[in-house]
Amino acid sequence: MFWERFGKIPTSYFEHSMREMLGEQADLHHVCSLSADPGSLAMWSLYAERHAGIVFGISSSLDRVIADKGRDLIKMAYSPRRSHTPINNPKFEDIVSSMWTKGTDWEHQQEWRIISETGTFDFLECGEVKEVIFGYRYDPNVSGDKAEHMRRAFRDTKFFDASPSPTEHRIMSVPIISPAANRQSPDRSTNSGDHNQAPLST
């Protein structure tokens, strides 16, 4: 009643309604979550097999597989407060802010989402996979030989080994040389903060 007096939908009611709606449309919407920070210890630990997995750095311009296919690219927002939606004639921006906002506990994710209304998928092409980072606990006996992965990768892809920073609570990306013919090791800083390809898949 308190929120109704002020023309607001209570958070619990709004969340319940949203969950029902999303449940009904679960087969109609598909989400691909990405991160813009390849150096996050938390992201590597939670989403890359505890540093044994691989991070793929993709181009920040992917109109071919996003806009051209009717998909949306959304940057998540983070706030310590929950959004409240006006009960009388809510505007689109009032509703969408609630759908794409997380608590500040998740701010380290630096998340972007690709939203699609279809279940179709596309393979990335040459030039769209900018870099591959192997976790510092990567096990070739489990995930395959690095050299073999690099030989089969796209021509313009650059390769890195992840390594814990000796001075910061972050992961560095150390350039490695691909065995592919005529491929040169990229002249890049090992500080992961220097990476400009975003968002990065996790």
Residues 96 and 187 in one domain: no
Residues 141 and 172 in one domain: yes
Residues 103 and 163 in one domain: no
**3-class SS of residue 116:** strand
Each residue's pLDDT expressed in tens, for the chain with a length of 202 residues? 444 555 555 566 666 666 676 566 555 578 899 999 999 999 999 999 999 999 999 887 788 989 898 898 999 999 998 776 666 666 666 666 777 889 999 999 999 999 888 878 888 887 788 999 999 999 999 898 998 888 877 778 899 999 999 999 999 999 997 665 444 444 443 333 344 333 344 3
Number of domains in the chain: 2
Residues 177 and 93 in one domain: no
Residues 85 and 141 in one domain: no
Residues 104 and 150 in one domain: no
Residue type, 66: I
Tokens representing residue 73 in the block: 């690219």
Residues 13 and 89 in one domain: yes
| CA–CA distance, 133 with 200 (Å, rounded to integer) | 11
Tokens representing residue 181 in the block: 């013919």
Residues 24 and 54 in one domain: no
Residues 81 and 175 in one domain: no
Instruction: Supply the pLDDT for residue 78.
Output: 94
Residues 181 and 102 in one domain: no
